[in-house]
Structure 1
Amino acid sequence: MWSGVIDCDVIILAVEEALKYNVRNINYVDRILQSWSKKGLKTANDVKRYKSIWESRNTEHREKYRQYDFKELERKLFG
């Protein structure tokens, strides 16, 4: 069904995405494809670009909140 709507390469990327999380379920792949389709991602380049942007935003977010002052933490823990 999906091959008539989006590129076959996108379907392969969705299967790879499911396998990355060790999910071997066609319904999971279908949900990935539905999500990408709603976002207007119809080619492999669209998906790769989207994933790249998403991952960079998450990395920035994690780095922002994972900057610790270890001396301050030590002071709080041990008084």
Structure 2
Amino acid sequence: MARTTVDLDASILKELKRRSASEGKTLGRLISELVAPALKDNGANRPEEPLDWAAQPMKARVPLEDKDAVYAALHAQ
């Protein structure tokens, strides 16, 4: 089995340790068992959520024919 380091929230690590002790499994074995189904699923069983796309017409904030106004807008801080 490969070894690695993973940063987990303290509350998640605490629960994983509690659960591994109660199930008599190593922490690595428990994490592998919990993660494997999520990787296998790959999102195939998740319901598709519709994309809520919002669009608004855009317009220039300065008169584009006024080169000084365009320059000022581009170089404003």
Report the TM-score when normalising by structure 1.
0.33
Q: Which has the larger radius of gyration?
A: 2
Bigger fraction of residues in helix: 1
